[in-house]
């Protein structure tokens, strides 16, 4: 009797284990809603980006589902795990959306997004380098011009 129960138990575990293994993958979280840019509906093909801990997930607004809709699934990369409550930032065509959300594994979250050109996209390191070079050149021109003026006044004076 004990052998029969053991065989039944092992047989049932064999049948259950694949289902358990398949149900436990890397968790995902999805967001969907409307997207507006500068107060207007965005056209089909507009790029929507979700950013979680530096990882970017990109989609485009589809055709056929109505103006300005988007849907994005954030699937945790293999070997990485986002903790519940981790911030998710969004961009519309590279402009920061006013809305953010939190990572909630296994959830489908409705979130309407808005962005504006009034919010300047984040500057890249190259942008800051160019800005610093321009300021340095302006300061240098100002100093050289001041020195030349002083030398000219003393020379003539």
**Residue 7, pLDDT above cutoff 60:** no
**Which pLDDT belongs to residue 94?**
95
Q: Where are the domains of the chain?
A: 26-121, 123-157
**Which pLDDT belongs to residue 88?**
97
Whole-number average pLDDT of the chain: 76
Which of residues 7 and 130 earns the better pLDDT score?
A: 130
CB 142 within 8 A of CB 119: no
Global confidence as pTM? 0.60
* 47-63 pLDDT tens trace: 999 999 999 999 999 88
**Residue 125, pLDDT above cutoff 90:** no
Mean pLDDT, residues 22-49 taken together:
87
DSSP one-letter code for 78: T
- % the chain with pLDDT above 90: 48
**Which pLDDT belongs to residue 21?**
38
Q: What are the strands of the beta sheet with 95-102, ordered from one edge?
A: 55-60, 47-52, 87-92, 95-102
CATH topology of domain 26-121: Immunoglobulin-like (2.60.40)
CA 60 to each of CA 33, 37, 48, 87, 136: distance values in angstroms, whole numbers, following the listed order: 12, 14, 6, 21, 41
**Which pLDDT belongs to residue 110?**
97
**Which pLDDT belongs to residue 146?**
66
Q: What are phi and psi of 155, to 5 degrees?
A: -65, -40
* 82-117 pLDDT tens trace: 999 999 999 999 999 999 999 999 999 999 999 998
Residue whose structure tokens are 């981790």: 86
């Amino acid at each position: 009797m004990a052998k029969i129960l053991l065989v039944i138990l092992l047989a049932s575990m064999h049948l259950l284990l694949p289902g358990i293994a398949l149900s436990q993958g890397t968790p995902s979280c999805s967001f969907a809603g409307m997207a507006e840019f500068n107060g207007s509906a965005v056209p089909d093909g507009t790029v929507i980006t979700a950013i979680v801990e530096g990882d970017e997930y990109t989609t485009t607004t589809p055709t056929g589902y109505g103006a300005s809709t988007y849907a994005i699934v954030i699937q945790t990369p293999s070997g990485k795990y986002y903790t519940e409550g981790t911030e998710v930032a969004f961009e519309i065509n590279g402009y920061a959306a006013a809305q953010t959300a939190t990572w909630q594994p296994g959830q489908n979250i409705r979130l309407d997004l808005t962005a504006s050109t009034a919010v300047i996209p984040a500057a890249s390191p190259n942008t800051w380098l160019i800005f610093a070079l321009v300021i340095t050149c302006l300061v240098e021109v100002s100093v050289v011009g001041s020195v030349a003026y002083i030398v000219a006044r003393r020379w003539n004076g």
